[in-house]
Amino acid sequence: MKLTIMGPPGGGKGTQAELLEKRLGIVHISTGAIIRKAISDKTPLGLAAEKYIDEGSLVPDDVVISMVKERISQPDCEAGYILDGFPRTIPQAEAMEGMGIDLDCALNIVVEDDAIVERLSGRRECAVCAAPYHVKYNPPKAEGKCDKCGGDLITRADDVPETIRQRLRVYHAQTEPLKRFYEERGLLRTARGCEELSDTTRNVLEALGVRQ
Ligand code: ADP
Ligand code: ZN
């Protein structure tokens, strides 16, 4: 099973992808998390990507495509994977088809722009393992600490109001056209994102036809 989860920034892709990873037993691949790790490790990829992330624009297609290519060639991807944040542009989706990768489905999580700003300002991420949290909708058991690894929870540098607006603009201009792309291929499934995490999960499982 190979699937991609699409949706606006802060729409809950990462959180749902984590749950699906457990539920379906296939790996979760977040291009955003890979890029942020590369930035903190100061790798050549990270150095090239940093300015784009900080201003809320997309990292160039060729950079992200080679990164994903490398990641999905690892042995843990043989049984399938959940792509979170990729493809994010039509050229990325075309490149994936060009590599001979046939997705089983493209899941779109729908959230209105107005809800996004509130969600993103409450979002936190584990500095160590990148697990996603939200102070209100998905709080950790111990304040400020990751449930999984005990790492410190931080606010991402791009979760500030001006950058959030830029990311929404980029989403509507460059990522939303992918809905049509996958609809034309008969792969599009849609789930409404809700305030309550468990409601979103129910919609996601229903959209994927997973028994609950
Ligand atoms: P969000 O969906 O909340 O914006 P992500 O972690 O998915 O969070 O992405 C954060 C940033 O990483 C994006 O704003 C972009 O700069 C970069 N990025 C992630 N995935 C891609 C991609 N497929 N193509 C280009 N840039 C990407
Ligand atoms: Zn952690």
Query: Residue 2's beta-bridge partner residues?
Result: 81
Residue 115 CB neighbours (<10 A): 15
Q: How far is the CA of 31 from the centre of ligand 1 (A)?
A: 7
Judge if pTM exceeds 0.75. Answer: yes
Averaged pLDDT, 74-79: 95
Q: Is the pLDDT of residue 41 over 90?
A: yes
Q: Is the pLDDT of residue 71 over 90?
A: yes
Find the radius of gyration of the CA atoms of the chain. Answer: 16
Q: Mean pLDDT across the chain, nearest whole number?
A: 93
Question: Residue holding tokens 């990311």?
Answer: 167
Q: Which of 5, 13, 34, 35 to mutate to test the pocket of ligand 1 (most atoms within 8 A of CB)?
A: 35
Nearest CA to ligand 1 atom 19: 32
Q: Is the pLDDT of residue 157 over 90?
A: no
Nearest C-alpha neighbor of 81 from the set 32, 139, 17: 17
Higher pLDDT pick, 86 / 118: 86
